[in-house]
A and B are shown apart, each in its own frame.
Chain A
Amino acid sequence: DADVTQTPRNRITKTGKRIMLECSQTKGHDRMYWYRQDPGLGLRLIYYSFDVKDINKGEISDGYSVSRQAQAKFSLSLESAIPNQTALYFCATSEGTGGVDGYTFGSGTRLTVV
């Protein structure tokens, strides 16, 4: 099994629908992150969580919410999806001691909003 698992891998949804992207990890890391990737823009941070009770907005959190259900689970929700939220979404984890080992990424969820 992968260290960081994202579900679903692909999703097409309609404008206005609520959708949840899920992430689970077996690394035992405290810190988890949600990024979106758009062509030519790189990865931009949506939300991050340093532990179950510590959740923080990233640079592009508008239109998104998150839930940290357990150390191993971090979900991203789009309350009312819009077409410009069409992107590749990545979940990542890191250790809680400065992150010298960098991040471990999931395989991504490709979301299309029509």
Chain B
Amino acid sequence: AQSVTQLGSHVSVSEGALVLLRCNYSSSVPPYLFWYVQYPNQGLQLLLKYTTGATLVKGINGFEAEFKKSETSFHLTKPSAHMSDAAEYFCAVSGSGGSNYKLTFGKGTLLTVNP
């Protein structure tokens, strides 16, 4: 079984500041980890993913995340926030391999970017 905890339902940053959205996971098997972004009135869009290999993964729009197995974390960062980054962000986990592949989502973090 898998679960995801996103720390902070709402994060507010100033334009140009560092963005850090926290995600911790629980998984009984090696995980696949994902970050999705949802802009207002839209569906979810894949931002980045970790499956195997390099633990620092880069995604679209300058975002990146680092898989830390010892900390069971997959935090999302961006060095400099832009107004267009304002959205809701979801971390998700699934078990790797096998046939029982389903994504389990966190409750989401709403990112506000202030001018």
Contacts and interface: CB of A to CB of B under 8 A. Distances in A.
B32 A100 contact: yes
B25 interface: no
B43 A98 contact: no
Interface bin, chain B: 20 to 34
A107 B101 contact: no
A19 interface: no
Contacts of B44: 43, 90, 92, 103, 105
Contacts, number: 59
A45 B93 CA distance: 13
Nearest to A43: B105
Give 8 nearest A-B pairs by CB, closest first.
A42-B107, A105-B43, A99-B101, A43-B105, A105-B44, A107-B43, A42-B105, A100-B51
Interface of B: 9, 32, 34, 36, 42-46, 49, 51, 90, 92, 94, 96-99, 101-108
Interface of A: 4, 31, 33, 35, 40-45, 48, 50, 58, 90, 92, 94, 98-103, 105-108
Given A4-B43, A102-B92, 19 more contacts: A31-B101, A33-B102, A41-B107, A42-B105, A43-B90, A43-B105, A45-B104, A98-B101, A99-B32, A99-B94, A99-B101, A100-B49, A102-B34, A102-B46, A103-B103, A105-B43, A105-B44, A107-B43, A108-B43
